Structures are given as structure tokens and as C-alpha cells.
Amino acid sequence: MPARRAGYRPPTVNRAGTHNRTTNAHAALLLACAGLVAGLPIAPAFAQPESPQGDGAADASQPPAPPPVAPGTDLFEGRPVAEVVFRVPAGEGFAPLAGNSLQRALNNVRTVPGGAFRGRTVAEDTRRLNRLALFASVETSAQALPDGSARLIFTLVERQVIQDVQVAGNTRIPDRDIAAEVDLLAGTPVDPFQLDRAARRIQDLYRERGYYFADVTIDRELLDESGIVLYQIREGERVKVTAIRFVGNTSIETRLLRRELETKTAALFRRGQLDDDNLDVDIANLITYYRNEGFLDVRADRRITPSPNGREAIVTYILDEGPRYTLRSVELEARPAQEGDLPVFDAAQVAGLLEIKPGDVFGVEALDASVQAVSDAYGRLGFTDVRVTRVEKRDPQRPVVDLVIVVSEGLAYLTGEVIIQGNEITRQNVVRRQIEVLPERPLDSIALRRSEALLRRTRLFNPRGVKLTLQPPDPRDPEYRDILAEVEETNTGNIAFGGAVSSDSGVVGRIALTQNNFDLFDTPDSLGDFFSGRSFRGAGQTFRLEALPGDEIQTYSVSLSDPALFDTDYSGSASLFFRDREFDEFDEQRFGARLGFGRAFGTRWRGNLTLRAESVELSDIPAERPTDIFDVADQNIITSLGLSFTRDTLDNRFRPSSGSRTVVGIEQAGALGGDFTFTKISAQHRVFVAIREDFLGRDTVLSFNTEVGYIPQGRDDVPTYERFYLGGQSFRGFDFRTVSPKGIRNDNGQPSDDPVGGTFLFFAGVELNQPIFEDIFAAVLFIDSGTVLFDPGFEEYRVSTGFGLRFSIPQLSPAPIALDFGFPLVKGDRDEERLFTFTVDLPF
């Protein structure tokens, strides 16, 4: 059976089942005549070879067909399509399209022989052929045939096909790294956009590695001749920035502008490389900084000056500061929701809310904060739909701005029902106590945002699954709006394996079983409930079973805490523990129990009441140790009642950059019985100040730490293990617990070098934390000072200084890994020094 030609159609079949040969013969004859008259290939199909005569003479007995014209005319609309031709330029004429290109063209054309000519369909066919990216151009024409039909002609210019992709000139970067940046494949059409994009990616790769002046070009001649894409690379030298200069900054000091730059000069730990993206960020940061300083018309650019050898470069930032604008006046344009109502705030009240005042520099950042402050003030009163915008009116003669605050107040709403969804295990009250807006109260939109943040911080829900949304007002009661609180519960139980290495405590392992959504009273109804994890859950309590085995200290404990004890404003906790620790002077064994009750007073203050009962026993005491240790070596019982108040405004618990934390406490030992009676008074105040923020939002933080402790009863009433000590991590540059009064040897009555603790402590320190690399690596400088005595005073005052490193890796530990080198400047005669102090927390 002969192979079918492209476009072959089987003969039609009549109802009797016989071929309609007569009809087909007539049609073939008509098409043949039409083809001869037109001088085009004869075929009742999509595409056929050109006739041997090409554009040969037409039959003189037939009138000639008109030349092809654009198909977008009513002349062809509705005519039967006799033929669809695909052709390509060849010499002075045309040749038929062939091969895979023909097949793909056929698959994308909906106009077919025998169908009606539709201009809209032809236009869609043309668009589809263009989208194939196989053809550099697609031209469409049509020809009216003498029999009333039409011939549709697609004239196509095929794109060149890539034969191979090659790279030349690269000696600094291997072929495999460059190949990863090039996504061109042999056998695909040449796309100039894709070729240029790959060249830019290769160039960006070089710039990332310091070769800023690397140049990548394409051998166009070779591409046209052979279809080979050859990227020619001129690598140049690795460039480092050796100087950064500013031109035009007459109002802002250079040192302040340098802080805003991502581009840095080369140094010991910096490559100082040039990068266009960083330079663009620098320009944006400089403009933002100037606008925040009131220079609203500032313009900035940069200039790069390479050295003759191409290895160094000077970056010069060119600034046109313009005038510094100030705020001249503030106006209020308030639009109450109901016509005739008075505005909620008058102009004077709005001006009082603004961070920027008349006469101040017109800074954009302060202006944005001011607009937000006005919006927040309305939001606290229930105006959830308030819109606050600003209009700046500049004086054309002077650099002053009149500010108009435009407020579309909207309606004030009261809180309706708080609807909670998604808490299948967690009790409703656990979710509800985190939501600060209450029914029948003004719908405080600020409290609503804060409630959403509180729910995320509970660790009971997926932070991304927590959402509080306002519902539309009820038409029956339009002054109320309900709140839909959606939560997505997450796995709140975990088993943690980890450890810590510390210069004070040695090596400590950690195995902890924690359930953050525990419910002590949710007992299981069956074993299935217990093993499926649906019992003892849902009340938001925290249960922890922890084992900390180590080479110097071992601790085992079990604890339970409830942030809302019996659904009140009070928190409660209880714990049992056993600890065995090896000190240089003795071994200490403790076990006991602690109870705690607390209450928050607002968002900053918290009070805590603590009861403890412990058994303490010392053993393995060498004969030369101080008499103070031998005096309390036997097992003793200590009970105490403590009260403390904490004020906390830190922005982050583990890595604070602003705020303060103050703790004041008093503990009375012997209040519940026991072997010792004394009073311990303590206070600590820590302040964190961000003195600079870089372009990545990282803060250089200066912190101050002051601590005071005092036991009025004196050394005879206080056992050594309840006294104050400094050293190690608490006083860098000195050995652990050695900043302390020294005792008397038990064996010969001579002075001892061993510390015995004091009843008065004072410590003052300052530390500067400077980020070095992203949020991972930082350097610190510190000064520690203080003393520990038997009586209040500042005798034997010690001072040390030093530097350290901080590694913050959240996957390892929420607290930074700390490495510190301390050097005593003022010390006592019998003090023991320690150069290196460290703490490393690692999970296994």
C-alpha cells in the first residue's frame, strides 16, 4: 500500500457503501485547472512540492488568477479553502516548508482545505505560528482562484538552529560552573533574547566572584556560518574596592553616609568586591537617608575608577543634596462618616500625635510614623475603617512644607462575638485569653493585631495558620462587628536531644520530653486516647521531663507550668529536681521542690512569688579546703519564700537590640523552717541601645549591665553555697567563682586561695555588639567590673576588658554561641585568671 502524502484525504463513501469516484474526479480536475491557471503547486492538501516549472506559464485558455494579497479583506471571507501552502524563501523564489517544521506548522493551523475561509481563524493561525519560536517571521497572504475558492499562503522564514554551545577564554572559572548558567540546548532555534540572557548570567557569575570588568560576547559570525554559539570571555582581574569617596555631601558627614553602604572597602575579613546590585542598593539607601533628613530633592549617582592594572577600584558617590525642607504648619482635613458630625480629633490633637512638629526637619521616615500614629489613635477607638493620608504642599520660594493630614474616619464599631475556629484539641479559653478585644468594648484594631501576635507566640499553633479577621457589620445591629479567630493546631510535643559545652559547667548532654499544650485534668478514657495523643492535651500548660547528664554537673527534673492558673490572671509552676555537681573544692548534691505563682501587671511588669525546699549535702572535701565549707558539709535543709518584680521591654529574649530588663527581688530563707535563716536582696538592670542600623537592618548594640546583691545577716548565718560569687561567664577574665573573698585552710589555719563567697555583690559592665556577617556572625568588645565582699563597699574592685565572637545559628540554639577572651586590668593578689570563656549549645 503506497504511503499517504501530507494532506491526503480518503474518498467519500455514499450511503450504499460505494466510492463516489465521479465527484472526486470532477473536484480533482477543477483543482488541477485552477492550479495551472494560478501558476502555483497543484494539491488538494496543506503543502506540496513546487511544480517543476516553478512559476511557469498559465494555461492561455483560462483567465489568470489575481496575485496574492493580505487575507484581512471581505474578498475572501466565506470562500471555500482550496489549498493551504507553507513556503520558505529560496533564492529568488520559494520552496515548500518540509520536515519537522512543516509538521509543527500543520499542528498549529486551524484553517484546512475544504473548510470556509475565516479571517479571524487565519489571524489566530498566524499568532500560533509566531508563538512557536521556530520562525523569524510569518507572513500571510491569500489568492482568489477562478472557481471562487481561495488559496491561503504562509510565507515563513525559519530561525537558525543551534548546533553546539561552547565557551572560550575562561581560566578562572571552570566550564562546569559556566554551563550551569547557560540553559541553551543544541537542536533548538536561535533566540537572540535567550543568547543575551545567558551572556549576562555568565557575566554576573564573574562579578559575584570579584571580576567586575569581565566581558562576555557572542561570536556572531561563527553563529551565522555554522550555528555554533561561542561565548568569548575576557575575564580581566579580580577587582577590590580600595577607597570609597563622596562628592557633594556638604550637609551630611561622610562617616554617616558610609554606614548606609553595602559596598565596603577590602579589609582582613572583607573581599571588598564590586557588585552592581550592591551599588544600586547603595544609591537607594543614600537617597532614603537624605530624604529622612529632609532633603526631598536629593539626587545620587556613582562613578567607578579602576586602577591601571585593573585590580583595584575607587567608588565615588556623587550627590546633589538640594535644600533641606522643614515643616511649616500642620492642617487637618477630617471627613466624618456622617455629614454634620464633629471630627473625633481636632487639629491640635492630631498635631500632638505627630512625631514631626512645625519647625522640625521634614523627614520621610518621621512623616510615615506620624501618619501611622494618627491611624492607630483612631483604631484604638474602634474606627477600623479609618483611612489616613497626607498632602504635602511645598512653598515654591522657600524649602518649607505645609502638611495636610486627610482623615476619612469611617464608622466606630463595638466588638461583637469572638468566633474561634480550628481548635480541635486546644480549649476555647486557651485561645480566648490571648485575644485582648472584648465584646461590648470599642473594637480596638491595634489590640486586634497584638492579639494575633500573641496567638502566634504561644507555640500552640502554626504561626502561618493564625488569622484574626473582622466580619462585615450585621445589618440588624450595624454598630457591632464580629471577629473570626482562625487557628491551625500544630504538634506541641517534642523530644529534644542536645548538649552544651561551657567553660563553667563542662560538657552537659540534654534529653527533654516537652508538651506545650498539656492538660493535667484531661485523663484518658482508654488506652487508645493515651497512645493517640488526644489525652492530657488542650489546656496550654507546659510539662517537661528533662535529663542533663554531664561530666561536672548532672541535673534531672520534672516540671509543670500553667500561664493562666484556673483560668485566672495568675500563672503557676511546680517542679521537682535532683542535681549533683563537682566543684573544685567539693561535690554538691541537691534535691528538692519549687512552687511559683506569678501575675502580669500590664504588658511590662510581672510579679512572682516563689517557694522552695531543698536538701543540700557536700562531700569529697580535701583537708586543705576552707573551714567555711567544712562547717556546712553535712546535709542541711533550706526553705525560702521569695518575691520578685520584673519589668521587661526587650524586643527579643535571646538577641535584644533595644529595651531594658529590670529584676528586683527579696528572698527570706527559713520562712518555712529549715536549718538557716537569712535574707537575700538582689537587683539587676540591663539596658540595650541600638546605636546604628546598617542597610540590612542589623543593629550595632551597646548594652549596660548592673547587678547588686546583699545578705544583711553576714557570713556566719549563710552557707557557702548560698553566697554570692563572680567569675567565668559572669565576670570574664577571671576563673569561675574566684571573684570572691577567700577562706582559711581547715588543715593548718593559714589563708586559703579557695573562694568561699560573699554577702555583698556589685557588678557593672558594658558591651558593644557589632554584626560582621549577615545575622550569623558578630564581634563584641566588653568591659566588666565589680567585687564580692562580706560587707557593702567597693574594696578589692576588679576590672577586665576583652573581646569576643557571637555565632547565631537558630537551627543549633536560640541563644548565640559565645566565645570571649578576657584580660584583667585590676585584680586581687590571689585571683585566678581565665583567658578564654565559652558557651556552646548544640542539638544532636
| Tens of pLDDT, residues 580-629 | 999 888 899 999 999 999 998 987 899 999 999 999 999 999 999 999 99
For the entire predicted model, the pTM comes to: 0.64
Instruction: Say what percent of the chain tops pLDDT 70.
Output: 89
Instruction: Tell me how far apart the alpha carbons of residues 262 and 277 are, in angstroms, rounded to a whole number.
Output: 10
What pLDDT is attached to residue 702?
94
Q: Is the pLDDT of residue 37 over 60?
A: no
Q: Which residue has the higher pLDDT, 670 or 502?
A: 670
Q: How far is Cα of residue 161 from the mean position of the Cα atoms in its chain?
A: 43
3-state secondary structure of 584: coil
Residue type, 329: S
Structurally, at CATH architecture level, domain 414-486 sits in Roll (3.10)
- Of 90-99, 292-301, 321-330, which range is least confident? 90-99
Residue type, 806: R
Burial label for 329, CB within 10 Å (0-12, 13-18, 19+), is middle
Interior angle at CA 339, CA 333 and CA 345, nearest 5: 40
Q: Is the pLDDT of residue 39 over 50?
A: no
Domain boundaries, the chain: 21-158, 164-234, 240-320, 326-410, 414-486, 583-843
**In contact, 8 and 47? CB cutoff 8 Å:** no
**pLDDT band for position 269 (cuts 50, 70, 90):** low
Looking at residues 477-481, what average pLDDT do you find? 91
**Residues whose CB is less than 8 angstroms from the CB of residue 456 and which lie 6 or more positions away in sequence, other chains included:** 463, 466
Distances (CA, A) of 694 to 260, 275, 298, 647: 6, 18, 20, 29
Looking at residues 639-659, what average pLDDT do you find? 90
Q: Which residue has the higher pLDDT, 289 or 133?
A: 289
Instruction: Tell me how far apart the alpha carbons of residues 433 and 810 are, in angstroms, rounded to a whole number.
Output: 29
**Residues whose CB is less than 8 angstroms from the CB of residue 602 and which lie 6 or more positions away in sequence, other chains included:** none
| Tens of pLDDT, residues 692-729 | 776 556 788 999 999 999 999 989 999 999 999 999 99
- Of 38-52, 659-673, 699-713, 826-840, which range is least confident? 38-52
Instruction: Tell me how far apart the alpha carbons of residues 765 and 775 are, in angstroms, rounded to a whole number.
Output: 24
Looking at residues 250-254, what average pLDDT do you find? 93
Cell numbers representing residue 790 in the block: 562580706
Instruction: Tell me how far apart the alpha carbons of residues 109 and 117 are, in angstroms, rounded to a whole number.
Output: 13
What pLDDT is attached to residue 47?
42
**In contact, 463 and 453? CB cutoff 8 Å:** no
Domain 164-234 homologous superfamily, CATH: membrane protein fhac (3.10.20.310)
**Residues whose CB is less than 8 angstroms from the CB of residue 514 and which lie 6 or more positions away in sequence, other chains included:** 493, 494, 495, 496, 542, 543, 544, 545
3-state secondary structure of 22: helix
Write out 780-826 in H/E/C secondary structure.
Answer: EEEEEEEEEECCCCCCCCEEEEEEEEEECCCCCCCCCEEEEEEEEEE
Q: Is the pLDDT of residue 841 over 90?
A: no
Which residue is it, cell 496567638?
455
**pLDDT band for position 73 (cuts 50, 70, 90):** low
Instruction: Tell me how far apart the alpha carbons of residues 364 and 799 are, in angstroms, rounded to a whole number.
Output: 45
Instruction: Tell me how far apart the alpha carbons of residues 293 and 31 are, in angstroms, rounded to a whole number.
Output: 82
Cite the beta strand spans of 169-324 per DSSP E: 215-218, 228-234, 240-247, 299-306, 312-320
Instruction: Tell me how far apart the alpha carbons of residues 176 and 174 are, in angstroms, rounded to a whole number.
Output: 6
Instruction: Tell me how far apart the alpha carbons of residues 120 and 221 are, in angstroms, rounded to a whole number.
Output: 40
Pick the CATH number of 21-158 from 3.10.20.310, 3.90.1150.10, 1.10.1060.10, 3.30.70.270: 3.10.20.310
Phi and psi, residue 690, nearest 5°: -85, 110
Looking at residues 45-66, what average pLDDT do you find? 45
Residue type, 369: A
Looking at residues 169-176, what average pLDDT do you find? 90
**In contact, 431 and 485? CB cutoff 8 Å:** yes
Cβ neighbours, 10 Å, residue 723: 25
**pLDDT band for position 40 (cuts 50, 70, 90):** very low
- Of 32-41, 242-251, 755-764, 772-781, which range is least confident? 32-41
**pLDDT band for position 232 (cuts 50, 70, 90):** very high
Cell numbers representing residue 544 in the block: 517537661
Residue type, 306: P
- Of 51-55, 491-495, 715-719, which range is least confident? 51-55
Arithmetic mean of pLDDT over the chain: 86
Q: Is the pLDDT of residue 22 over 50?
A: no
Instruction: Tell me how far apart the alpha carbons of residues 281 and 290 are, in angstroms, rounded to a whole number.
Output: 14
Q: Which residue has the higher pLDDT, 522 or 322?
A: 322
Instruction: Tell me how far apart the alpha carbons of residues 241 and 374 are, in angstroms, rounded to a whole number.
Output: 45
**pLDDT band for position 64 (cuts 50, 70, 90):** low
Looking at residues 751-777, what average pLDDT do you find? 90
| Tens of pLDDT, residues 560-573 | 999 999 888 899 99
Query: Does 583-843 match 414-486 at the fold level?
Result: no
3-state secondary structure of 633: coil
3-state secondary structure of 838: strand
Looking at residues 252-275, what average pLDDT do you find? 86
What pLDDT is attached to residue 32?
35
Looking at residues 804-826, what average pLDDT do you find? 81
Cite the beta strand spans of 149-262 per DSSP E: 150-158, 164-168, 215-218, 228-234, 240-247
Cell numbers representing residue 68 in the block: 496574492
Looking at residues 479-495, what average pLDDT do you find? 91
Burial label for 546, CB within 10 Å (0-12, 13-18, 19+), is middle
Distances (CA, A) of 168 to 171, 187, 347, 422, 736: 9, 21, 70, 60, 62
- Of 179-188, 274-283, 333-342, which range is least confident? 179-188
Cβ neighbours, 10 Å, residue 581: 17
- Nearest Cα to 411, choosing from 445, 373, 435? 445
Burial label for 199, CB within 10 Å (0-12, 13-18, 19+), is buried
DSSP state of 720: G
Domain 240-320 homologous superfamily, CATH: membrane protein fhac (3.10.20.310)
What pLDDT is attached to residue 189?
79
CATH T-level topology, domain 583-843: Porin (2.40.160)
**In contact, 211 and 172? CB cutoff 8 Å:** yes
**pLDDT band for position 20 (cuts 50, 70, 90):** very low
**pLDDT band for position 814 (cuts 50, 70, 90):** low
Q: Is the pLDDT of residue 842 over 70?
A: no
**pLDDT band for position 810 (cuts 50, 70, 90):** low
**pLDDT band for position 633 (cuts 50, 70, 90):** very high
Distances (CA, A) of 565 to 47, 429, 438, 746: 86, 12, 20, 50
Looking at residues 106-118, what average pLDDT do you find? 92
Cβ neighbours, 10 Å, residue 743: 22
Distances (CA, A) of 163 to 196, 310, 785: 17, 36, 74
Instruction: Tell me how far apart the alpha carbons of residues 538 and 486 are, in angstroms, rounded to a whole number.
Output: 16
Q: How far is Cα of residue 442 from the mean position of the Cα atoms in its chain?
A: 34
**pLDDT band for position 430 (cuts 50, 70, 90):** very high
Looking at residues 125-138, what average pLDDT do you find? 87
Write out 606-625 in H/E/C secondary structure.
Answer: EEEEEEEEEEEEEECCCCCC
Cross-sheet strand order for the sheet of 299-306: 240-247, 312-320, 299-306
What pLDDT is attached to residue 101?
83
| Tens of pLDDT, residues 651-692 | 888 788 899 999 999 999 998 899 999 999 999 999 999 887
Cβ neighbours, 10 Å, residue 467: 14
What pLDDT is attached to residue 46?
43
What pLDDT is attached to residue 840?
64
What pLDDT is attached to residue 10?
34
Looking at residues 737-761, what average pLDDT do you find? 93
The CATH code for residues 326-410 is 3.10.20.310
What pLDDT is attached to residue 68?
74
**In contact, 489 and 461? CB cutoff 8 Å:** yes
**Residues whose CB is less than 8 angstroms from the CB of residue 429 and which lie 6 or more positions away in sequence, other chains included:** 564, 567
What pLDDT is attached to residue 761?
97
